[in-house]
Structure 1
Amino acid sequence: MTPRAILTDIEGTTSSIAFVHEVLFPYSRARLAGYVAGHSAGPEVAAILDAVRAEAGEPALDLAGCTALLAEWHDADRKIAPLKSLQGLIWAEGYAAGTLQGHVYADAVAGLRRWHAQGIELYVYSSGSVAAQKLIFGHTAYGDLTPLFAGHFDTAVGGKKEAASYAAIAGAIGVPAGEILFLSDVEAELDAAAAAGFEVTLLARDGVPPASAYPVAESFDTILPAEAIA
């Protein structure tokens, strides 16, 4: 059965894990302190700093302390909202300047365009913020891909290894869980989605794993090919 909606992960699924860890993260880490110092009086960074203090439980934490904590979270790759918001602001400057370009696999671009043309609703669910997701897809070698998507979800809806998160997404988009296909390279995420009733497929871009409980694809080319949904 052709799904009514497809929900996709980003890292290791539409895009290279290396792009995030070897390009985006070093870019934001190198500019973190300078960006905070230069924008601390602005409303966006001021709100981030307040969120850092709330997360740390230290309402009197000064600018240096907030910056140090953000750097610590960045180095530990913590999935914390104020850090994700700050990274998004830093990356936005890089994309706007043309210094950064979002990486998306060619087969992922072709698949997303194929499914969109067939009327399948497309959504993204990633641990990166919604703003960061839109930056990656909005600045690619293939142009702006954001019009292909009907919506975006991040961990504000819940953790990616929790079945309740997928149930919430199904409710938000108004499509029964059994009519949504979730794509990810992480089996624990597929476990959670399957537990919520989703159809799932494991992306194995580095080669098919020895064993998996789920359908496996090495690229988007074999997932709902055109002849299967014609």
Structure 2
Amino acid sequence: MAPRPVMLPVGTSVVLLDIEGTTTPISYVKDILFPYIKENVESYLHAHWEEEECKDDIGLLRKQAEEDVPLDGAVPIPQSPVDGGGDVEQVIQAVVKNVHWQMSQDRKTTALKQLQGHMWKAAYTNGKMKGEVYDDVAPAIRKWREAGLKVYIYSSGSVEAQKLLFSYSIEGDLSKLFDGNFDTTSGHKVESESYKRIAKSIGCLTENILFLTDITREAKAAEEAGVHVCVVVRPGNADLTDDEKLHYKRIASFKELQLPS
């Protein structure tokens, strides 16, 4: 059964949006954002080695590496030369290997996300990268805002990475379309408590929120918190089971989400 137009639930005052597979193709994250980190982390570290921000990133990664020692395949990072450690190249190569290892394990540590965010910021600001957004997203959000709705982002990517994607999008600066951003500092997206925290932060009830996501585990967690959910079906997104198709309201485009007349 194909998705059909969905009426905005009565009492909804907030639309909460996932990014990957919802506002932005999964392929953009998988084929552009993450490969950029793997391919450019070494040259980035060489270019920014003397900067305090880069030193802070490496320090955070080193601290994470110390916590990861018990894990299979974990890559330690030696101290920098100024701290009595190895030479610059030795430290850089260790950081590169550590980053590659973390990404191969699909880890979402704060240390890794911080470095990724700074690398993407450099790429966006120098024009090497543009954030990809489905063409139905911006017009729909403008329509929702005109109707008095607030619109927020909730993604596992850092708030900084979220803002960069929309600030430097293929459609220009879309960052002003959003009332705020949430990431995993509010909790993991498959935990119902996360949605209660977000509702409290916004200043509304969970039943005032409609959450749009392509991941049914996230939809289930949001539902358990009392949040309305709608699953977004886009090309490349995971297939839904027959039971999931029956249970969840679904849209293939933001155009299909209709406001009460």
Q: TM-score, normalised by structure 1?
A: 0.92
Among 106, 112, 119, the alignment partner of 2:135 is 106
Give the counterpart letter for 2:102 in structure 1: W
- 2:159 equivalent to 1:150: no
Q: State the alpha-carbon separation in 1 of the partners of residues 128 and 59 from structure 2.
A: 29
| More displaced stretch, 154-163 vs 204-213 | 204-213
Q: State the alpha-carbon separation in 2 of the partners of residues 124 and 90 from structure 1.
A: 21
Per-residue deviation, residues 129-184 of structure 1 (Å, max 9, x unmatched): 11110111111222211101111011111111111111111111111100000010
Q: State the alpha-carbon separation in 2 of the partners of residues 217 and 151 from structure 1.
A: 23
Which residue number in structure 2 is paired with residue 43 of structure 1?
A: 52
Instruction: Flag the 1:60–1:77 CA change in 2: closer, same or farther, 3 A.
Output: closer
Q: State the alpha-carbon separation in 1 of the partners of residues 191 and 59 from structure 2.
A: 28
Which residue number in structure 1 is paired with residue 248 of structure 2?
A: 214
8 Å Cα contact 2:207-2:227 kept in structure 1: yes
Cα offset, 1:65, TM superposition: 2.7
Unaligned runs of 5+ in 2: 1-9, 68-75, 80-90
Cα offset, 1:36, TM superposition: 2.0
Q: State the alpha-carbon separation in 2 of the partners of residues 43 and 97 from structure 1.
A: 20
Q: State the alpha-carbon separation in 2 of the partners of residues 148 and 200 from structure 1.
A: 21
Q: State the alpha-carbon separation in 2 of the partners of residues 72 and 89 from structure 1.
A: 19
Give the structure with higher Rg (CA): 2
Unaligned runs of 5+ in 1: none
8 Å Cα contact 2:11-2:207 kept in structure 1: no
Cα offset, 1:66, TM superposition: 3.1
Cα offset, 1:44, TM superposition: 1.6
8 Å Cα contact 1:203-1:218 kept in structure 2: yes
Cα offset, 1:48, TM superposition: 1.6
Give the counterpart letter for 2:177 in structure 1: L
Q: Which structure's relative contact order is higher, taking Cα pairs within 8 Å and 6+ residues apart?
A: 2
8 Å Cα contact 1:118-1:229 kept in structure 2: no
Instruction: Flag the 1:4–1:31 CA change in 2: closer, same or farther, 3 A.
Output: same
Q: State the alpha-carbon separation in 1 of the partners of residues 120 and 132 from structure 2.
A: 13
| More displaced stretch, 52-61 vs 24-33 | 52-61
Q: State the alpha-carbon separation in 1 of the partners of residues 78 and 226 from structure 2.
A: 44
